Structure 1
Amino acid sequence: MFKSIVALAALLSASQTTPNPNLPTPTFDTVAPSFPVLRRPAVLIFSKTNSFRHDSIPAAATAIEKLVRARGWSAYATENAAVFNPALLAKFDLVVFASATGDLFTPEQRAAFQAWIAAGHGFVGLHGAGDNSHPDWYQHMLGYSRYAGHPGGADHFQTADIIVLDRSHPATRHLPVRWRWTEEYYAYSTPPAADAHVLARLDETGMRLEPKHRMGDRHALVWWRCEGKARIFYSALGHQDAAWSDPAHLKLVDGAIGWAARKAGTGC
């Protein structure tokens, strides 16, 4: 009996000290990686996680890089935030956050990124890039606040209709007015910023949602806005690996990339 108790205690202790891959220890990078030669346009794909880490990040980063290279553009994927310095950011026309989460930057890196945005470059945030782990300045840039979470348990992933409100945008022109999709649906206590242009929203009809996750006909999922001269795009979609092999979703992301890099569409 004593040996059994000791073995159980050891097992419990081990389980308590085993790192959770979805909750990494926050780190701040100071040494940038070596860069390959990049031709323009060039896209920085960033997926560092100082908060919740989505299992789909590898699939997302690979798919985004493939989309960029199919355009004949350069792509560089990294989780090293030290690339956010003036000299290295100057090599890029667009930054994509592939479910990057948390407070990611040193003060100097934050200042470099904000200056790069202020110069009129493009940004695309995907899924976890719009949760509550990000600092206020970033949430303001993306155009949201008061993240309310998403359903959990048996209701975590639900299939519902996404209503496409604007089919003139490069990211949504290929979609039907009602697009059937399965997702971990994010919710916010307030709609996006007043200057955000909502492209698609959730139809909550028939869904199993707690009151805090209900936004009615203002449940925005995909939008864009201008941060000064910069084109800012956000999509809450893309939690599961399957999203990153789905043709309709990939075309949405590709359209967002083209728009934010000023190669298609209008705005800002």
Structure 2
Amino acid sequence: MPKSLALSAILLLAAAMLPGCASPAASRPHGASASSRHAPRVLLFTRTTGYRHASIPVGVQALRELARAEGIALIRSEDPALFDDASLARFDAVVFLSTTGDVLDETGQAAFERYVGKGGGYMGVHAAADTEYDWPWYGRLVGAWFDSHPQGLQTTLVRFEGDATTLAQDWQVTDELYNYRRNPRGTVKVIATVDESRYRGGKMGIDHPIAWCHARLGGRAWYTGLGHDAALYADPIYRAHLLRGLRYVTGRADVC
């Protein structure tokens, strides 16, 4: 090998070994293929243009604590201007925490579609399903839109499915229990259901999904309908449930 080529090869190898250097594939920011070489970054979006949940501050704090323990950098904002290509590229995933109503304009919607299509992660909590009813793509992303809920908080059993059964068996929960406009099973991987026979006001029957995930639109998506009541964020099983979501959408785990 000529000396000039040998020297070039050595310099390239040395550069690759320097801290912070990575191949383009390894440095790709989006969660679906995020490299373990960098700390994931998550945008926590809490904008509301409809009903505003009193539990949002408690939910923000819980997610901050979970992210910190997991080594995830979490940035909370209600600024829709962050939904452009350059800003979203800084994040491995975006969490919609009890957002309501129309939270993005058409420009932001288009940018978010591109972001997820390129592998960006999405995590929705509770009223994330009560958001953007006029945006069909978002309906496919969240999995199912909110339809109604019984009056007040009610208590039932949550049954986890698949890999999520490691969290608990027949977990008793008191929360606002959403009915959805359709049953998403068949288009998503359901990870938890609620038992309608134990409370009043359920409208989905014997199969009532309350949490699910999918990767149908290019990136990973994870949703839980639980999280209305602030007290739930102190429950260790619920916190473990949220952590599984964070890990899945940031690419830290392949199971949801």
Q: TM-score range by the shorter chain?
A: 0.7 to 0.9
Aligned equivalent of 1:173: 166
Unaligned runs of 5+ in 2: 1-37
- Aligned partners of 1:142 and 1:225 also within 8 Å: no
C-alpha distance in 1 between matches for 2:240 and 2:198: 27
Deviation for aligned residue 1:133: 5.3
Structure 2 SS opposite 1:60: helix
Q: Runs of 4+ in structure 1 displaced over 4 angstroms? A: none
Aligned equivalent of 2:193: 201
Aligned equivalent of 1:21: none
CA 1:124/1:75 → structure 2, altered by over 3 Å: closer, same or farther?
Answer: same
Q: What one-letter code is carried by the residue in structure 1 that aligns with 2:113?
A: Q
Aligned equivalent of 1:236: 225
C-alpha distance in 2 between matches for 1:240 and 1:266: 26
C-alpha distance in 1 between matches for 2:84 and 2:132: 22
- Aligned partners of 2:103 and 2:131 also within 8 Å: no
**How large is the RMSD of aligned CA atoms in angstroms?**
1.7
- Aligned partners of 1:45 and 1:65 also within 8 Å: no
Aligned equivalent of 2:140: 140
Deviation readout 1:137-190 (Å, 9 max, x if unpaired):
211211114x321011xxx21111112222x14xx52222x1100010000242
C-alpha distance in 1 between matches for 2:112 and 2:181: 27
C-alpha distance in 2 between matches for 1:126 and 1:54: 12
C-alpha distance in 2 between matches for 1:189 and 1:73: 33
Aligned equivalent of 2:67: 68
Aligned equivalent of 2:47: 48
Deviation for aligned residue 1:65: 1.4
CA 1:255/1:266 → structure 2, altered by over 3 Å: closer, same or farther?
Answer: closer
Aligned equivalent of 1:253: 242
Give the paired residue count: 218
Unaligned runs of 5+ in 1: 1-38
CA 1:188/1:173 → structure 2, altered by over 3 Å: closer, same or farther?
Answer: same
Q: What one-letter code is carried by the residue in structure 1 that aligns with 2:60?
A: A
Deviation readout 1:3-54 (Å, 9 max, x if unpaired):
xxxxxxxxxxxxxxxxxxxxxxxxxxxxxxxxxxxx7310110100011110
Identity %: 33
- Aligned partners of 1:99 and 1:129 also within 8 Å: yes
Q: What one-letter code is carried by the residue in structure 1 that aligns with 2:182?
A: T
Deviation for aligned residue 1:229: 2.7
- Aligned partners of 2:123 and 2:246 also within 8 Å: yes
C-alpha distance in 2 between matches for 1:97 and 1:75: 13
Q: What one-letter code is carried by the residue in structure 2 that aligns with 1:165?
A: E
